[in-house]
Amino acid sequence: MANVTKEKLDRLYEAYKNGTLSRRQFLKYLGLAGATIGLVGSPFGNAVKEAWAAESIRFDGWGGVVSEAFREHAFKPFTKATGIKVIDGEFGGMDSYLTRVKASFPPGGEFNIAHLSAVFDYARYAELGFASVLDESKIPNLKNVMASMIKPLRDITKGTLSAVPYDLGQTGIAYNTKEISKEKAEKLGASLLWDKGLKGKLGSWGGDHRTNMWYAALHTGQSPNNMTDLKAIWAALREQRSLMKKYWSSGAELMSLLANGEIYATVAWSGRVAALQQEGHPIGYLSPKGTYSWMEYLFVLKGTDLEIAQKLLNFMLEPAAAIAVAEGQNYPPSLDPTKVKLTEKIKKMPAFDPTGKLDGYLFANPAYWNANQVAWTEKWDRIKAGS
């Protein structure tokens, strides 16, 4: 198309130069051509084409191996089966994604479905008015999902659902097995992240105060959902900072630091550790008592075409698709193991619960963490920066 347009413009310019076309006409045609290119050519062309497309939906996820699993095992088969295109976006963190959602116009309008992490995030999105109300009768595969994962959502959105649970995972501790023995890691537990012998070889997730405070609570012998001695938490985090090499900011950076031996121990997302182990890296995974567990959801933002969204969610909850995605991203699915037969690979994943009840799993209490988010984030930022 570009060549044809260029040829036409060349002819137009030639006519103008030859005097067979008036300046007014030339400018009129030029303006029309510009408008046409603006609408159908790049860079806006794709957006316009997508808007013109019969049916499409935007999905934002965590990127890397996680998005790759969704793309391969859910979106491509869905598009093939229904003709509906899934526009696949990525984000690096929950807060940064929420910023983009807030900044869109109308707020949330550009976004449809997001792979959100943890119930506190579901609560935040609902509080900000981004929650939709799903018609559960259009998502029959929801019956296969663990009731223990659905209940916390219903409690927040007063009996309705704005999301479907999709997977669960843990933020445990990853360690280099060449440098740290399994015995030492298990003996120290959360305190491995405060081992002075690892000075300059420790890492942590810089973008999340919760994860860091959670492990500081375990290290200081407190309950992460009821920290009674915050001074001890801050002191522990300050002490840990002096041992740190790098506060990483994304899953890809976490994997790179561990794989290249830049750091020997760090808090880490269980699925990313599994991916490293599958690639043959000498990385062990430790989940001490009270390990930070989380559930992930496919959240449908207000204003989304619910017919399409529900169709996609139901497709993604089909056992075949959910199992394939789970194996791809290395996080157990939300499917109830007592109702759906899962694979051996899934049964070996960290955070997998064969009972489907999730008893004994420690999740962040949304009310507790959200109520203190502003103050604690700021405090964490200061400690991280050396204050």
Partner 1 sequence: MRPKSWKPWALLAPSMSAVFLLLVIPLCFVVVYSFWLRAPSGADIPAFQFGNYAKFFEDFFYPKILIRTIRISFETVILCVFMGYIPAYFFYRSESRYKKAFLLLIMLPFWVSFIIRTMSWINIMGDSGLINHFLLKIGLIQSPISMLYNEFTVLMGLIMYLLPFMVLNIYVSLEGIDKSLLEAARCMGCTEWQAFREVTLPLSLPGVSAGCLLVFVLTAGTYLPPMILGGPGNEMIANLIFKRIVGTLDWPFGSAISVILLSLLFVIVWTYNRYLGINQIFKSLQGN
Q: Is 222 helix (H, G, I), strand (E, B) or coil?
A: coil
Cα separation of the two ends of the chain: 58
CB of 166 to partner 1, least distance (A): 23
The mark string for 321-360 relative to partner 1 (x by CB under 8 A, - otherwise) is: ----------------------------------------
Residue 69 contacts residue 346 (beta carbons within 8 Å): no
Output the CA–CA distances (angstroms, integers) from residue 184 to 192, 286, 292, in the order listed.
8, 11, 20
User: Which one among 46, 223, 338, 387 touches partner 1, defined by CB under 8 A?
Assistant: 387
User: Which one among 4, 51, 54, 374 touches partner 1, defined by CB under 8 A?
Assistant: 374
CB of 206 to partner 1, least distance (A): 8
CB of 108 to partner 1, least distance (A): 13
Structure tokens at 171: 């933020």
239-298: which residues touch partner 1 (CB under 8 A)? Answer: 241, 244-247, 249, 256, 260-262
125-164: which residues touch partner 1 (CB under 8 A)? Answer: 127-128
Interface with partner 1: number of residues (CB under 8 A): 33
Stretch that binds partner 1, among 47-55, 62-70, 283-291, 375-383 (CB under 8 A): 375-383
Q: Does 382 bind partner 1 (CB under 8 A)?
A: yes
User: Which one among 25, 96, 343, 355 touches partner 1, defined by CB under 8 A?
Assistant: 96
Stretch that binds partner 1, among 43-51, 96-104, 218-226, 288-296 (CB under 8 A): 96-104
Give 63's DSSP letter. Answer: -
Q: Does 12 bind partner 1 (CB under 8 A)?
A: no
Q: Does 377 bind partner 1 (CB under 8 A)?
A: yes
User: Which one among 68, 88, 90, 95 touches partner 1, defined by CB under 8 A?
Assistant: 95
d(C-alpha 380, C-alpha 387), whole Å: 9
CB of 371 to partner 1, least distance (A): 7
Q: Does 93 bind partner 1 (CB under 8 A)?
A: yes
Stretch that binds partner 1, among 111-119, 120-128, 308-316, 321-329 (CB under 8 A): 120-128
Output the CA–CA distances (angstroms, integers) from residue 98 to 60, 247, 312, in the order listed.
11, 21, 22
| Torsion on CA atoms 224, 229, 231, 232, rounded to nearest 10 | -70
CB of 281 to partner 1, least distance (A): 11
The angle subtended at Cα 352 by Cα 350 and Cα 353, nearest 5°, is 140
The pair phi, psi for residue 167, each rounded to 5°, is: -160, 175
User: Which one among 135, 155, 229, 381 touches partner 1, defined by CB under 8 A?
Assistant: 381
Output b/e per residue, 327-348; b: 16+ Cβ within 10 A: bbbbbbbbbbbeebebeeebee
The mark string for 52-91 relative to partner 1 (x by CB under 8 A, - otherwise) is: ----------------------------------------
Is 136 buried (19+), middle (13-18) or exposed (0-12) by CB count in 10 A?
middle
CB of 370 to partner 1, least distance (A): 7
Q: Is 144 helix (H, G, I), strand (E, B) or coil?
A: helix
Distance of CA 309 to the CA centre of its chain: 18
CB of 1 to partner 1, least distance (A): 25
Q: Does 386 bind partner 1 (CB under 8 A)?
A: yes
Closest CA to 150 of 326, 370, 335: 335
Ordered DSSP codes for 242-302: TTEEEEE-SHHHHHHHHHTTS-SEEEEEHHHHHHHHHTT--EEEE--TT-EEEEEEEEEBT
Neighbours of 31 (CB within 10 A): 10
191-210: which residues touch partner 1 (CB under 8 A)? Answer: 200, 207
User: Which one among 102, 182, 184, 348 touches partner 1, defined by CB under 8 A?
Assistant: 102
Where does this chain bind partner 1 (CB under 8 A)? Answer: 93, 95-96, 98-99, 102, 124, 127-128, 200, 207, 241, 244-247, 249, 256, 260-262, 370-371, 373-374, 377-378, 381-382, 384-387
